[in-house]
Structure formats: C-alpha cells, structure tokens
C-alpha cells in the first residue's frame, strides 16, 4: 500500500513520474489550479489589505474530492507542482484546501522529469516559498482589479463583452501602433537591375552596384524608363572581373533556448504560433524529453555539459569537442539557478525518436536538440567573396561564400551558401541576361507571434509564462486578427479599445510602467518588497481615475466616425463609424429630432470582415447599401442573391447558402464568381454527406454507415445517431458492433440536465 502521496498539476506529468517511483508512492494530478478568485465578482477586499477570496470552481470539485480522499491515511503528502511562481501558488492552494500547514508542508521542484531528478528532489524537500506565492497573488489581484474596473467602463462607453488587462492591453498597443505606422507609410517606386553571369559553365547572379564609380543606392533608379536606358547601354557589352575581395569570418554558435527565443525560432523555422509552441513544449516536458519550458535563463547544468562534450567527441571528433561553453543570461531578473530549455538526455537524438513522437512534438524536439548541441560546438568559419564585374562604366557585384569549417552548423544550420566559380581579376565573363525589376518600398512588417514576443521581451512586458497566453487573449477578444501570412493586425474594436486606454488610462498601457510593475513583482518574489503596499500604491490612483472617467467621458467622445463624402445618387453623406456591434456604414445623418419625429432610420450596412474605418473607400461602401443584391442565376436557374449577415457577406439560393470569401466583395461579385463559390460549397457539402464507411444493412433493411460530423465520427442507421468513442477506430467498426451501439443508444434513458438555479 502506498504511504506517500505526490501531487502534481498535470495528469501527463503524473503518469511520467509514476514510472520512476515504487509501490510506496501514489501520484495524482490536481489538473491545474484547484482554487481561484470567483468568476461572478471581484473577490478582492480592497478595504481589508486586498484580502482575496478563493473558491473551488465547479470543474475542480471532483479533483479536490479525489485528492482529499487519497490524502486520508497517507504518511506523507508531497507537493510537486512546477518550479515557477504559478506552480508555487498551485502548491499553496492545494495545501490550504487539504488542510496542510504551508509552513511545514513538503514541497519539491525539479527542472526535468527524469528518475535522477525526481529522486534528488525527494531526498531534499523544502517548504512552500511564500514570497513566490505572494508575487503570483499580486499579479492575479492586479489583473483582476484592472479587468473588473476597466471592463465595465468599456461596456458602457463602447459595447458589452469587451475587456482590458494589464499586459494584454500593452500588447494590443504594440499591434495598433505598428498598423498605424504602416497606414502612414509613403510608398515609393524603385527599380533594380540584376544580371545573370556564367564562367566555366557555372552560372551566378550579380546586381548593379555602381555607375561610373558612383554607388547605386536602393532608390536611385526611380522609373522604368531610367532602368530601360541602363539595360540598353549594357546590351552587347563584354564584362570583365575588376575586383575581388575575400574575407574569412567567424560565426558564433547560438545560445541555448529560453522561452521567448524558442517561441521566436519555432515561429520562424517551423511556422508554429506562440501558443502552439508552448503546448508542444509542455508535452515534451511532461513526458520527460526536455527540461522545464518556462525560463529566461541560458544556463546549462554542469553534468549535462560534460555529457554533451562526451557525445560531441564521440560523434563528431576532437575538432568539434573544444570544451563546454557557459552562457550568461542578459535578461534582468533572470534566474541563473534555473536552466535553459534543453533535452534531458543528449544521446536521445531526433533520429532515434522519429516515429515515437507526434509530428509537431518531434519537430520542436529536433529544434531544441540541435540548438542545444549547436551551442556547445565551436564557431563556424566562412569565407565570403565579393566580385565586381564591369562593362560600359557600369559595375555589377556578385557575392558568394564558402564554408571552410562548419562548426556549430554541423547540427544547427542548414547552410545555403552561394558558390561562385574560380575567378581572377581580368577574367572575362559571359552575361546571359540583364533584367530590370520594379519594386515598391514597404512599411515595417506586421507583428508575427515571434516578433511580438521579441518586442514584449525587449520592453520588459510580461514574463516567459505570459507571452503565449497574452497573444491568445487579444486574439480571442477579437482585438486582433491574422492576415494571409498569419501576421497580426488590429480590428476596429481593437483600435477603439486601445485609443480609449491610451487617452484616458495612459498608465495601464504605458510600456515603462508595465515593465516597472514586472520588476516589482520580481522583487516581491525575492522577498525585498511587500505585496500589499504595492497594491495600495497602484489601486488608489487607478480607482480614482476610473471614477473620474465614468462621469467625465461620454460614448460620443470615444466612438469614432469618418465622413467619406456624398452619395452620387442621393447627395447624402456617407459615414463610417463604430457601433455596439462593430464598424458600419450609414447613408445620411439621423438626429435625435429625426428619431422623435419618427423619421425612418437611414440605410446602414456592416463593413465586410477585414475592412477598416480608417482605410475603407467610397467605392467599397456604396455597393453595401444595395444589399440584398441579385447577382444572377445558377446553371439550374435558381436566383443567386448576395446578402450581408451577422457573420459576414454570403450568397443564397433556394437550396444552398455559402459565405463569400474575403477575395470577393458582396456588392461587386460577378455571376461567374458566385457560381464558382456555390459550386465549391456544393462539393464540400457532398463530401461531408458521403459516408466514411458503409457497414451494410441493419435488420430493418436500412443502411448502417459511419459519417464524419461536426463533433467527430458517428454511426447512423437513418433514425438513430451515436458518436464513435475515441478509443475506437471508426474504420475498424463491424456491423455487429455498430448495431449493438445503436441499440444501446435507443434503449438508454435520456440524459436529464439539472435546471439552472434562479438568481432570485
């Protein structure tokens, strides 16, 4: 019988740890937080030293019941939640809920889930670190006070359902300011001229570098005519090598991964979003493949460094085993006692694990393994060459390089170096083409997950555990959306919320203030600053400002509008503005007097998805007032009508409805394009209706089939439907099994759901 209960926060983590412990131990999961502030009220007594009221949410009650039952009769209870502040807070909440004294409750932490690490942690338990708990409590209370006092203000002045948060609002500000920078950008035309050269059968490119000795800068060639004259001058000319510069450079290996650098690299190399990266990293950690994934340290354990050097020497040879490298963490407040994200076992190579991990996990593990091993390899040596090729007082430059020693690139960098042929000054080279290309200057790119995480880190906004949830929050709130390249841009609602906060609550979205608060939370965690005075210093001025703005700011002060001009047909002004249900266009004003006189409301239409009040044009707006619009007919003769609906523009016939893709405008989509959209929807509908498998006929002669539904595969005989359990492969179900499942569903009593209690 087990006499020691070990409590972790994740069932996967519990399963992994169980494999390392004997029959004397029982490992259970709390399934995350088991207590939190109540959802229906603030839960913070600001008049009583900000005392929080914690409750066990409904979803955690069964888990708490299980933990309490398991704790009875146990000799020891050990709290083994994650090693960060949130993990410490979860351990404290578990202790409080189980009636354990936090001053004596046994607490262990480990940076990796391996047998050695678990046994070492169990040999030296500590008590709960209340400084870490208080830092997490302070963050939670701060965010609750900001959210619960700012959100009602936004509901009253903008629309219901909006929210504001201490970190999410600053992240939103970054996205909004980047978009406004892009909108204000002035586009310039410019041309480049590229040549394709050949020597000894090897083709290589070169770009126009100078004319008559004067360097050609990016915007020097402004028109196609100028470019054409240069190309004409070079027609039929002989090119000669006039200058060769060779330089050997050393490229240093990268540092091991922190949370932010992992999110940045996984986004750039693998296309993973920040949230996806952290979900996969969590799985790798909980299954014992990598160390803890929320860290801002680049430190590596000495034992791991020794193992890595031995592995490098064995696999790559003595030229690569040049000694362990220690990296210093530059981030302020970083915990050097913690480690970077690394494999738990260096000899568990990606090649060995291929096929044992799901695709996304394997790709991320491969990246982490290569980055970690690469950090312990020597610098790469690269020879870079620049060659000038001249004709008719014009000079082209060809750049190339060659890896002399691959160093860390042996595992981490797939080199794509441009190789030049053997060239010497005075050599003649053949030119196969000289091509002018038109370009336009582009504004700074929108934020990707990677670049937004990098910006947040540089500003000191948030901490490793908050980057991914912050991006997920502003996206879930529909303050930002993603373009075709998965880059973030603000919605009209996001812009309005940001503008309100910047104008009326500047501290909430001030970069320096937010970073300073993060540093203060670090100091609370270190025990050098008290948490209650920190809350008092913030809340007093913040609450007073809220009260002032509730009275002093009207909805009309906030909700922006823009007059595009006059409608050519009616002469009425065309106005775009923000409303309670999003941005919309209106044809003509409608005053309070009009309303009193019962003058009909003017025509209005919601802006199409992706349209922005600041940039939408009259040409895009006017067709919206003609909705619904008859587009034409299908080949079968059914009328096709374009509508604007609650969820965007759509096409409707007698038998089919299909959303209009963003590539088309509901006011201008042609009959041909409408037929194409409807045909695609018809094909998709037919595919969805087609059964995954036909199992045969039932006793009544009706076919029994497996279909793919909205919530996954299900069985049906035309009258009864039953979901296929996840443990069953829908393509392996036999007719007998299917009939038994359908009969069980028919004879089972209907589910009865408890009635909601009246609030009165």
* Active site positions, annotated: 292
Name the nearest CA neighbour of 395 among 212, 221, 611, 520.
212
Cα(376)–Cα(254) distance, integer angstroms: 9
Which DSSP string corresponds to 678-737?
A: HHHHHHHHHHHHS-SEEEEE-TTS-EEEEEEETTEEEEESSS-EEEPPTTS-TTT--HHH
Cα(81)–Cα(92) distance, integer angstroms: 10
Q: Treating both helix axes as pointing N-terminal to C-terminal, what angle do 274-286 and 359-375 enclose, rounded to 10 degrees?
A: 80
Contact 26, 5 (CB under 8 A): yes
Angstrom distances, CA of residue 59 to CA of 36, 71, 90, 177, 584: 11, 20, 15, 39, 40
Cα(487)–Cα(494) distance, integer angstroms: 15
Q: Furthest-apart CA pair in the chain: how many Å?
A: 95
Burial class (CB in 10 A: 0-12, 13-18, 19+), 719: exposed
Q: How many CB atoms lie within 10 A of CB 238?
A: 11
Q: Treating both helix axes as pointing N-terminal to C-terminal, what angle do 492-504 and 130-157 enclose, rounded to 10 degrees?
A: 110
Cα(270)–Cα(582) distance, integer angstroms: 34
Angstrom distances, CA of residue 643 to CA of 557, 637, 653: 32, 19, 11
**3-class secondary structure for 281-301?**
HHHHHHCCCECCCCCCCCCCC
Cα(391)–Cα(236) distance, integer angstroms: 10
Cα(289)–Cα(363) distance, integer angstroms: 13
Cα(139)–Cα(466) distance, integer angstroms: 11
What does DSSP say about strands 51-52 and 648-652: parallel, antiparallel, or unpaired? Answer: unpaired
In 299-411, DSSP assigns E strands to 380-391, 394-405
């Amino acid at each position: 019988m087990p006499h020691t209960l070990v409590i972790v926060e994740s069932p996967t983590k519990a399963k992994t740890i169980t494999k390392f412990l004997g029959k004397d131990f029982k490992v259970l999961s709390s399934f995350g937080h088991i207590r939190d502030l109540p959802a229906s009220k603030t839960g913070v007594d600001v008049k009583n030293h900000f005392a929080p009221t914690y409750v066990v949410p409904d979803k955690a009650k069964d888990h708490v019941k299980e933990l309490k039952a398991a704790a009875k009769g146990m000799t020891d209870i050990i709290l083994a939640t994650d090693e960060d502040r949130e993990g410490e807070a979860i351990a404290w909440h578990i202790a409080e809920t189980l009636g354990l004294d936090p001053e004596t409750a046994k607490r262990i932490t480990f940076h990796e889930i391996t047998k050695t690490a678990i046994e070492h942690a169990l040999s030296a338990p500590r008590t709960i670190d209340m400084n870490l708990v208080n830092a997490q409590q302070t963050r939670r209370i701060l965010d609750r006070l900001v959210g619960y006092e700012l959100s009602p203000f936004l509901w009253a002045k903008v629309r219901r359902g909006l929210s504001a948060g201490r970190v999410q609002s600053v992240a939103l500000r970054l996205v909004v300011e980047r978009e406004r920078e892009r909108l204000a950008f002035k586009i310039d035309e410019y041309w480049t001229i590229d040549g394709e050269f050949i020597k000894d059968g090897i083709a290589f490119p070169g770009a126009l570098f100078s004319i008559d000795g004067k360097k050609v800068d990016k915007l020097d060639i402004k028109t196609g005519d100028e470019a054409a004259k240069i190309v004409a001058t070079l027609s039929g000319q002989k090119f000669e090598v006039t200058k060769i510069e060779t330089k050997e450079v050393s490229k240093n290996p990268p540092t091991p991964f922190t949370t932010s650098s992992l999110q940045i690299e996984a986004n750039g190399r693998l296309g993973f979003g920040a949230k996806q990266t952290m979900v996969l990293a969590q799985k790798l950690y909980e299954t014992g493949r990598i160390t803890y994934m929320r860290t801002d340290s680049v430190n590596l354990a000495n034992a791991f460094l020794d193992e890595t050097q031995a592995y490098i020497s064995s696999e790559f040879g003595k030229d690569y085993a040049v000694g362990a490298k220690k990296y210093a963490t530059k981030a302020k407040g970083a915990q050097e006692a913690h480690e970077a994200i690394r494999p738990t076992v260096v000899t568990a190579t990606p090649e060995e694990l291929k096929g044992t991990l799901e695709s996304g996990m394997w790709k991320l593990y491969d990246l982490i393994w290569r980055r970690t091993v690469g950090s312990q390899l020597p610098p790469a040596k690269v020879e870079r060459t620049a060659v000038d090729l001249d004709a008719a007082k014009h000079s082209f430059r060809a750049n190339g390089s060659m890896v002399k020693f691959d160093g860390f690139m042996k595992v981490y960098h797939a080199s794509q170096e441009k190789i030049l042929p053997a060239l010497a000054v005075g050599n003649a080279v053949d030119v196969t083409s000289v091509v002018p290309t038109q370009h336009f200057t582009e504004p700074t790119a929108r934020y990707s997950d990677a670049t937004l995480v990098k910006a947040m880190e540089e500003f000191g906004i948030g901490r490793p555990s908050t980057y991914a949830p912050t991006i997920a929050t502003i996206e879930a709130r529909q303050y930002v959306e993603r373009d075709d390249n998965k880059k973030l841009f603000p919605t009209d609602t996001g812009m309005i919320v940001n503008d309100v906060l910047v104008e009326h609550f500047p501290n909430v979205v001030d970069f320096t203030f937010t970073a300073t608060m993060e540093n203060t939370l670090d100091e609370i965690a270190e025990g050098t600053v008290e948490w209650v005075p920190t809350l008092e210093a913030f809340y007093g001025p913040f609450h007073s400002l809220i009260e002032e703005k509730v009275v002093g700011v009207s909805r009309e002060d906030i909700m922006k509008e823009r007059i595009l001009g006059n409608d050519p047909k009616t002469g009425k002004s065309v106005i775009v503005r923000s409303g309670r249900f999003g941005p919309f266009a209106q044809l003509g004003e409608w005053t309070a007097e009009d309303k009193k006189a019962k003058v009909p409301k003017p025509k209005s239409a919601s802006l199409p998805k992706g349209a922005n009040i600041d940039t939408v044009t009259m040409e895009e707006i006017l067709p919206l007032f003609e909705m619904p619009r008859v587009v034409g007919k299908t080949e079968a003769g059914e009328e096709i009508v374009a509508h604007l609906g609650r969820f965007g523009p759509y096409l409707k016939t007698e038998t089919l409805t299909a959303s209009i893709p963003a590539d088309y405008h509901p006011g201008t989509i042609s009959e041909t394009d409408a037929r194409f959209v409807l045909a695609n929807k018809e094909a998709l509908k037919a595919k969805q209706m087609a059964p995954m498998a036909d199992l045969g006929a039932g006793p009544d002669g009706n076919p029994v089939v497996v279909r793919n539904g909205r919530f996954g595969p299900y069985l049906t005989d035309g009258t009864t439907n039953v979901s296929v359990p996840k443990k069953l492969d829908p393509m392996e179900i036999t007719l007998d099994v299917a009939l038994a499942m359908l009969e069980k569903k028919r004879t089972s009593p209907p589910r009865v759901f408890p009635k909601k209690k009246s609030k009165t």
